[in-house]
Structure 1
């Protein structure tokens, strides 16, 4: 079997509601859809990432030099294909976009390999489990107060959600702590709570939050400290409060994950396969993390996380958005995994188990 062609489309769907984290606002959802064709008729169609600014370069790299690097190759020779694409990165000015382009094709090759062998990608990666705990994001949204958020989380738990990933850092520390307390008091001790500050806080502010939050049973605190000295400051938060710290979503390669472990900045790595160079690079990080007692999460992208995290004994929670925040997930996918008793059930179908809606793709294709 040989690769004959690589195609790509950029999809952008405007959001009906503005969602805010501590230092940013989201008004659209964007992704790249990639199709890899083979001479035996086996085709992969996957999507990955949320690149909202550099998507033209991303597509141009996918269908241009990266595609040329893998055409004629065996799609199951994934590592050789990855290395051929990675060898092109010195010639690309924007290395981050280059790694996203590699990721999109790499994920498609894992999809083809699973389809060729008749097994899900999670089985190829280790097959430790067929499900994982699932948490749902809670943002700052105008017109929604803490009572609204807690009521919604009660409803989501009835639907099968196991916890919340709460955005913090956008209001006073004391106010964020009140939000956490309201969730814990209402949802109970078995409801997972993780908090994500998106690098909003000084070290002092992070410590002010982390001490009381630890007593409320946070599963982790993500990116608590500002960018300029983040590794050292996150280490201080870990050592001085005992709260588990997560980071890694913006790292473009396994070397970034290695740095976070070398500096003892994290207990949990939430490396994103769509950003860091694909499943191939993510699993390299996962292997190194397991040897060092660091657990693995995945930044957003539940269609990827549901394959990656259950495959590994040290995998943690799959993250899902609400319907208005991620129309790509809820509209582009014609079939979605089920939630049950706080867990998401991984697809049993070969490959990534994705079925994309051609009409949605055509409606929202922008490049």
Structure 2
């Protein structure tokens, strides 16, 4: 059967705000409300592609929602070829720069376009990309923030048991280094040695502090140490990667595949974990995955587990999928994790449908 030809008609972007069950408490920010932008890409043929963005702060949606509507108007009438649209959308924003919110808006368009194309073909996205439906190894990243170390053991058990996870992420960066070590001990003692533990400083340290704190963690059997320094300090991360035995993980702030290439060229990390709204959606991920694959660098995901699951099935150096259920309240049929594996539903596209009653209840007035 010949693939369907689709034509972009319009984009609808709706801002919603959800209350987090376990608030984000990191060194650089505390977040209790989680903003999402729901994207519906309408085609002349009636197929609707869906995706969402997670822009961290409510005020950011005031800029991204109009940007998405503008992209829809500018590209109306174009054939729905995601790679072509990605290039056209980026070029339309050339004079304001390819990074930052420009790329985030383009990434949202790209993810929705790929969803529509796979829906029109009647296959899950991973199949359209040349892979197959199957499980993806995931770790739970939905908790273990900078809370009282004594309470983290019980929370770690609950997070592990939510989906039989074999990996958990713990956030570090408390005022006293010994409190971080106490938190790590509490989690390890609760879940045992067979659970992979990742730690994330959320860019909260300077280089001197990072050297001291990361060395204290270097014999703890961690899967990785994530973003100890501000994201664009690649030279500093390179010093840490050289100094430490524990792998250094960065990448959620790569704006496009060239950022990933530069980080690897500078030796700034051992592992990479791009974020879909910054790397360039599905198109940007595929290009970044090719770079990581050539270097044999393990590649994990950041947020967006529904999109992440599909592309991990076609990523040569697929490592870990980061799981959060933060978008589940507005999804008609959320994905499930069983035995530590995210199960991709055998549905066309990404399989995303909005729970319109929940959307109406959480719609934001910007």
TM-score of the aligned structures, taking structure 1 as reference length: 0.90
How far apart are the structure 2 equivalents of 1:207 and 1:95? 30
Give the secondary-structure state (helix, strand or coil) at the position aligned to 2:100. helix
Q: Deviations over 1:120-140 (max 9, x none)?
A: 212233426722222223343
Q: Is the contact between residue 198 and residue 224 of structure 1 (CA under 8 Å) also seen in structure 2?
A: yes
- Of 101, 109, 115, 1:105 maps to 109
Partner of 1:268: 271
* Offset, 1:17: 6.1
* Offset, 1:155: 2.7
Q: Is the contact between residue 44 and residue 108 of structure 1 (CA under 8 Å) also seen in structure 2?
A: yes
- Evaluate the alpha carbon distance shift between residue 78 and residue 245 of structure 1 in structure 2; reply closer, same or farther with a 3 A threshold: same
How far apart are the structure 1 equivalents of 2:178 and 2:130? 43
How far apart are the structure 1 equivalents of 2:133 and 2:263? 27
**Are positions 1:198 and 2:213 aligned together?**
no
How far apart are the structure 1 equivalents of 2:229 and 2:124? 37
Partner of 2:342: 344
Tell me the number of residue pairs that the alignment of Structure 1 and Structure 2 aligns.
Answer: 357
Give the secondary-structure state (helix, strand or coil) at the position aligned to 1:311. coil
**Are positions 1:58 and 2:56 aligned together?**
no
- Name which of structure 1's ranges 218-227 and 204-213 shifts more when overlaid on structure 2: 204-213
- Evaluate the alpha carbon distance shift between residue 345 and residue 181 of structure 1 in structure 2; reply closer, same or farther with a 3 A threshold: same
Q: Is the contact between residue 136 and residue 164 of structure 1 (CA under 8 Å) also seen in structure 2?
A: yes
- Of 1, 18, 26, 1:21 maps to 26
Partner of 2:298: 295
**Are positions 1:80 and 2:108 aligned together?**
no
Partner of 1:186: 190
Give the secondary-structure state (helix, strand or coil) at the position aligned to 1:73. coil
Q: Is the contact between residue 133 and residue 346 of structure 2 (CA under 8 Å) also seen in structure 1?
A: no
How far apart are the structure 1 equivalents of 2:239 and 2:211? 9
- Of 8, 11, 14, 1:9 maps to 14
How far apart are the structure 2 equivalents of 1:339 and 1:135? 10
* Offset, 1:209: 3.0
How far apart are the structure 1 equivalents of 2:217 and 2:346? 38
Q: Is the contact between residue 123 and residue 311 of structure 1 (CA under 8 Å) also seen in structure 2?
A: no
- Name which of structure 1's ranges 209-218 and 331-340 shifts more when overlaid on structure 2: 209-218
**Are positions 1:209 and 2:207 aligned together?**
no
Partner of 2:356: 358
- Name which of structure 1's ranges 33-42 and 168-177 shifts more when overlaid on structure 2: 168-177
How far apart are the structure 1 equivalents of 2:227 and 2:264? 14
Q: Is the contact between residue 33 and residue 48 of structure 1 (CA under 8 Å) also seen in structure 2?
A: yes
How far apart are the structure 1 equivalents of 2:129 and 2:297? 18
**Structure 1: tracts of 5 or more residues without a match:** none
Give the secondary-structure state (helix, strand or coil) at the position aligned to 2:218. helix
Q: Is the contact between residue 33 and residue 45 of structure 1 (CA under 8 Å) also seen in structure 2?
A: yes
Give the secondary-structure state (helix, strand or coil) at the position aligned to 1:265. coil
How far apart are the structure 1 equivalents of 2:7 and 2:214? 52
Partner of 1:176: 180
- Evaluate the alpha carbon distance shift between residue 12 and residue 6 of structure 1 in structure 2; reply closer, same or farther with a 3 A threshold: same
How far apart are the structure 1 equivalents of 2:39 and 2:108? 7
- Evaluate the alpha carbon distance shift between residue 129 and residue 222 of structure 1 in structure 2; reply closer, same or farther with a 3 A threshold: farther
Query: How well do the aligned residues superpose, as a CA RMSD in angstroms?
Result: 2.2
* Offset, 1:37: 1.4
Give the secondary-structure state (helix, strand or coil) at the position aligned to 2:197. strand
Alignment of 1:313-352 (within 5 A): 313-321=316-324, 326=326, 329-352=327-350
How far apart are the structure 2 equivalents of 1:241 and 1:119? 44
* Offset, 1:95: 4.3
* Offset, 1:51: 4.4
Give the secondary-structure state (helix, strand or coil) at the position aligned to 2:123. coil
